[in-house]
Amino acid sequence: MKIVTKILKLASIVILTLLVILFAAARLMQDRVADIILKSLNDNISTKLHVGTFRLSFLSKFPKASLELRNVFVQSSPAFNAGSFGIINTDTLLAARNVSIEFKLTDILFGNYTVERIRARTGKMNFFTDNEGKVNYDISTGRKKSGSRDFTIDLRKVYLSDIKTYYNNLATRLIIHGAVSKGTLKSIIHGDYIGFSADGEVQIDSIQLYSTSITKRIPARLDIDLQKTKNGITFRKGLQRIDNYEFGLDGTISSENIYDLKITGHNIDISRIRHHLPDKYTEMLSEYDLRGIIVIDSKIKGLMTRTANPHVEVNFSLDKGQITYRKSDLKISNLKFDGYYTNGSKNRPETGAFKIRTFSGKAGSADYTGSFSLSGFDNPAADLTLKGKAIPGEIKEFFGLDNIYGAGGSVDADIRLSGRIDLKKKFGLSDLINLKTEGTMTFNSFSIGLNNKSLLVTDVNGNLAFDNSILARNLKFIYKGQ
C-alpha cells in the first residue's frame, strides 16, 4: 500500500511539474511563436491578417500546441474592384472574435510550422464578386524569395460556428445574407495549389436577385470538394441541400473564366416551394396546395466577363403534379410537363428562349394537353397551343371567380395563340386577344355571365373556326334574353 502511495505521489509531482513547465514555456515562447506564424501567414498569402491579442497554450489542445487569437481581422484580397460596390465597405473578408490555430509541438523545435487545424467562432465573413468576376477571397500564396521554401498551410479541419455571412455578386446581381451555424472546412494550400472541401449547416436569411427579394429563412446544407491550381478550379463534388431540396454541381472554371459546369436538381418536391417565393407570389398562392416532383439538369459553358456571358441551357420536367384549391373540392391532377430554357446562339436575352414542349393534366373532370414557348426576351414572341374541354362551372369554382355567375355547359377547344407581346408590368385579356388566334371551339349548352350584368350569354351551341377569318357553323345562343 505504501508503495502505491509513493508511486501516486511521484506521478502527481511529475505531472504537476510537467504542467508548470508547459505553462511557463508557453508564456516564455508565445511572442516568438506568434511572430513566426503570423509573419509567415502575412508574407505568404495575398491578403493581410490582423490580430488584437494572442496567447500560446501547450495544454488546452494537448498533445497539440495552439495559438489562441482574439479579435481577428482578415482583409479582402486586393485583386478585385472594390470601388464598383459604391458605399458598401468591402475591406473585410473575415472578422472573428475567437480563432484558434493548432500545430504540432515538434514544429517549435524544428522551426518548420504546418498549420493543421483552425477554429473560428462568433464573427462574420463577406464574399464579393465584381462585374468582371474577380473576387475578394482569392488568398493564393504570394511570390517567394529565391531559395526559400513554400509556406504550407495544411488545414485538415477548419471549424466554423456562429459566423454571419454576406455574399454580393455584381456580375449576376445576386445578394445573399445568412449564417454558418456550424461547419467544417478542409484545405491544403501549397504554392499555387489549393485543395478545398466544405461540409456545414447554413441558414439563408434573405436572397435578392435583381429587383426580386426573398426574405424568408431557409435552412441549407453544403457539401463541396474542389481543387484550384494555376489552370483554374475543378469541382470534384458539389452538393447543396436547401430545405431538403438537393442540388449537385460539377465541372470546371478555368483561370481565363471559361465555365464548364453542370448543375442538377433531382426529386425536388414543389409542395414547399411557395414558402420560398417573393411575398407577392406567396400571397397569390396562399389558397392553393402544390404537389409534384421536378427534375432539373442545366449546363453553363463558355467565357464569362463583363461583356460576355457563357451559354446556358436548363432542362426541366414535372411529374405527378397536383394543384388543390382549399375552398373547393376540385383540383388539377396528373399534371406533367417538360421543357427547357436557353440564352440562345448569342448568349443574350434577345436570343433567349423558354419552352414547355408538352404539358398535360386533368382539371376537374376535363383533360388538357398543349405546349408553350417564349423567345427573344427583348421583343418576345409567344406561342401557346391548348386542347381540351373547358367547363366554366368548374373553372369558376377552382379559381374563385366571384364576378362570374350562371356558368354552365362546356366548350371543346383546340386553339393556338401566337404573336409578339409588348413588354409591360401588367397583362390582361386584351393582350391575348391581340395575338393571332387559330383553332376551333365547339359549344355544348355553354353559359356564362358577369355579376355587373354587362355580359350574359346562355345556351350556346354550335361551332366556331377561326384563322384569318371566323367561320360559324350552326351557332345558336341567347344574349340577354334575345
Q: How many residues does the chain have?
A: 482
Q: Are 311 and 300 in contact (CB under 8 A)?
A: yes
Hey, how many other C-beta atoms are within 10 angstroms of the C-beta on 397?
18
pTM for the model stands at 0.64
SS (H, E, C) 41-71: HHHHECCCEEEEEEEEECCCCCCEEEEEEEE
Alpha carbon separation from 38 to 96, 189, 424 (Å, rounded): 16, 16, 57
**Is the peptide bond prior to 278 cis by the omega test (within 30 degrees of 0)?**
no
**What tens-digit pLDDT sequence spans the chain (482 residues)?**
556 555 555 545 444 444 444 444 444 455 565 566 676 666 666 677 788 877 776 556 666 777 788 888 888 888 778 888 888 888 888 888 888 877 776 666 566 666 677 888 888 888 888 877 777 877 655 444 444 444 455 555 678 888 888 888 887 677 888 888 888 777 666 666 667 677 778 888 887 766 667 777 778 777 777 777 778 778 776 666 676 677 787 888 887 888 888 888 877 888 777 666 666 666 667 777 888 888 889 898 888 776 778 899 999 999 888 888 777 777 888 999 999 999 888 888 888 899 999 999 988 888 899 999 988 888 888 899 999 988 888 888 777 777 887 788 889 999 998 888 776 555 555 556 677 889 999 999 988 887 766 778 889 999 999 887 889 999 999 887 78
- The DSSP code for 76 is P
> Helix, strand, coil proportions of the chain in percent (round to 5)?
15, 60, 25
Alpha-carbon gap, residue 317 to 332, rounded angstroms: 17
Distance CA 436, CA 33 (A): 79
User: Chain-centre distance of CA 475, in angstroms?
Assistant: 54
Task: For 109-129, give the DSSP string.
Answer: HHT---EEEEEEEEEEEEEEE
How far is 98 from 87, CA to CA, in rounded Å? 28
Closest CA to 192 of 137, 143, 136: 143
- Domain definitions of the chain by residue range: 26-228, 256-363, 379-482
